[in-house]
A and B are shown apart, each in its own frame.
Chain A
Amino acid sequence: MKFVDEFRDPGKARALARRIDALAARNPICRRRPLQLMEVCGGHTHTIFKYGLEQLLPEAIELVHGPGCPVCVLPMGRVDDCVALAEHPNILFTTYGDAMRVPGSRKSLMQARAEGAEVRLVYSPMDALALARDQPDREVVFFALGFETTMPSTALTVLRAEAEGIDNFSVFCNHITIIPTIKAILDSPELTLDGFLGPGHVSMVIGDAPYAFIARHYRKPLVISGFEPLDILQAIWMVMVQLDEGRCEVENQYRRVVPEAGNAAALRAVQRVFRLREFFEWRGLGSIDHSGVRLNEAYARFDAERRYSLPNLRIADPKACQCGEVLKGAIKPRQCKVFGTACTPETPLGSLMVSSEGACAAVYRYGDPAGPPRRDRTEAVDGLASRDAADHPATSQEKPT
């Protein structure tokens, strides 16, 4: 596939790995402790495990898998709200596939569907709107989820519903924002991060300016990165070059997709439809100020939270579950007490085991390079190109049920 395969070339990966080695060898931090770089985005986490990129890095560099998987940070109470909506007699509840198996306190959406609730998988919010258009006697609720990457698509769908006067459509809004989240991580005393890989697809919407404070106030380098193996290796190399030269800047490795100013049309739609919440509750991280959005007053009639009464309860995560510590990078997935035993992708206890972008599911599926013995580097590099092409819902012919 164009713009994908070229960025998986093993020869170039090898060259980058050697350069990263050389920079790590002369980095003073690496002599004292592992240098910790956080990839904020779950999409990066997925690529890192899928291609075994940690095996290409020197042991002195440790990747900390950040909280950038929207499914994984969804608190249990919100899942319960989804189930309550889905069980409402006249509601047709629509969701992205990722969210189906996230456990609520009583059940997941998948279990609710098995028990008779009407839950449909959709690829796009526009598909949910089409269902509302086709079935005017049903009330269609779309479970809106994701960082700034997917916020514009929800906003544009709401604007479309308004333009067409489709009144049996609403959105259960769980969109979250990246900047307050990174700030919360930077302020967390448990962490000693040395740099960041910035989320490429959030950045294509918001641009690079919002990250400036990370370099300026926190003195950490951040490199916005794409999602192919070479993108991630190059971004790590760019962070290492910054550290080597004593610089802390926001740089953009993913220039083919991320313009400096972001996407003006997308931002306009977001600003029109959403406003910041005072705070939003995150699984494992607790409440973070201004980290979520809800629909503006002007679009109240499309807001499922205003339209229906929801349990809206705060539910503590299961005691055995250590998702929070993994999310903050305080422990590795395999160090969690229930990893691979009580908690597996088939029967997840915690949300990190659910989504393919969750650190635990990725470790479980692709193996943890830091856990079992490291593979030979040549073998790891040669494996890059042969991994299956993007298994993306857009190319899947499967009909959501």
Chain B
Amino acid sequence: MCLGIPGRIVSIVDDETDTALVEIAGIRRAINIACVVEEDGRHADCVGDWVLVHVGFAMSRIDAEEAARTLELLRELGEMDEELRQPQASARRGGEHGR
């Protein structure tokens, strides 16, 4: 029950009950999105957003930029790793820190 799974909000079913259709690994399910609607935002603004779904509830919006940043950092680590392993490793690059 604690494992979340990413899904994308496809359409809003009902504003009143915060219900949206979310596509999760190719399957569409009615999911409650009360926790990801902006405080003064509209439900419809959530369509297209990636969310993490737990027990029928979208519990967090997935930030694609942050995901890309993490992957970029990991890619850099990998590259630096390769450079370090080569005997004539050239100049080291910065930015290896965890954020």
Q: Does A48 contact B (CB under 8 A)?
A: no
A255 with B70: CB separation less than 8 A: yes
B57 with A237: CB separation less than 8 A: no
Main secondary structure of the interface of B (DSSP, over half): mixed
* A-chain residues with CB within 8 Å of residue B99 when the two chains form the complex: 251-252, 255
* A-chain residues with CB within 8 Å of residue B1 when the two chains form the complex: 70, 96, 98, 145-146, 149-150
Report the separation of the CA atoms of residues A269 and B18 in the bound assembly, to the nearest whole angstrom: 14
* B-chain residues with CB within 8 Å of residue A263 when the two chains form the complex: 35, 59-60
Q: Which of A4, A149, A252, A394 contacts B2 (CB 8 A)?
A: A149
Q: What band does the interface of chain B fall in when counting residues whose beta carbon is under 8 Å from A? A: 35 or more
Q: How far is the CB of B5 from chain A (nearest CB, A)?
A: 4
Q: Does A33 contact B (CB under 8 A)?
A: no
Q: Does A370 contact B (CB under 8 A)?
A: no
* A-chain residues with CB within 8 Å of residue B32 when the two chains form the complex: 124, 126, 153, 156
CB within 8 Å for A11 and B78 given contacts A156-B34, A265-B35: yes
List B residues 18-69 near A (Cβ within 8 Å): 24-27, 29, 32, 34-37, 39, 50, 52-57, 59-60, 62-64, 66-67, 69
CB within 8 Å for A389 and B25 given contacts A42-B2, A237-B98, A256-B62: yes
Among A1, A15, A238, A263: residue with most chain B CB under 10 A = A15
CB within 8 Å for A125 and B74 given contacts A3-B67, A145-B1, A241-B98: no
A152 with B74: CB separation less than 8 A: no
Report the separation of the CA atoms of residues A12 and B74 in the bound assembly, to the nearest whole angstrom: 6
Q: How far is the CB of B35 from chain A (nearest CB, A)?
A: 5
A257 with B62: CB separation less than 8 A: yes
CB within 8 Å for A204 and B60 given contacts A4-B6, A11-B78: yes
Q: Does B15 contact A (CB under 8 A)?
A: no
* A-chain residues with CB within 8 Å of residue B57 when the two chains form the complex: 124, 126, 152-153, 156
Report the separation of the CA atoms of residues A51 and B55 in the bound assembly, to the nearest whole angstrom: 24
A2 with B97: CB separation less than 8 A: no
A265 with B4: CB separation less than 8 A: no
Residues of B within 8 A of A (CB): 1-7, 17, 24-27, 29, 32, 34-37, 39, 50, 52-57, 59-60, 62-64, 66-67, 69-71, 74-75, 77-78, 80-81, 97-99
Residues of A within 8 A of B (CB): 1-4, 6-7, 9, 11-12, 14-16, 18-19, 41-43, 46, 68-70, 96, 98, 123-127, 145-147, 149-150, 152-153, 156, 160, 201, 204-205, 223, 227, 230, 234, 237-238, 241, 251-253, 255-259, 263-266, 269, 357, 389-390, 392, 394-395, 397
6 contacts between A and B (CB under 8 A): A6-B71, A12-B78, A127-B56, A156-B57, A201-B2, A227-B4
Given contacts A15-B74, A43-B2, A123-B55, 12 further A-B contacts (CB under 8 A): A4-B6, A15-B77, A70-B2, A98-B1, A149-B1, A227-B3, A241-B97, A256-B62, A357-B2, A392-B3, A395-B24, A397-B27
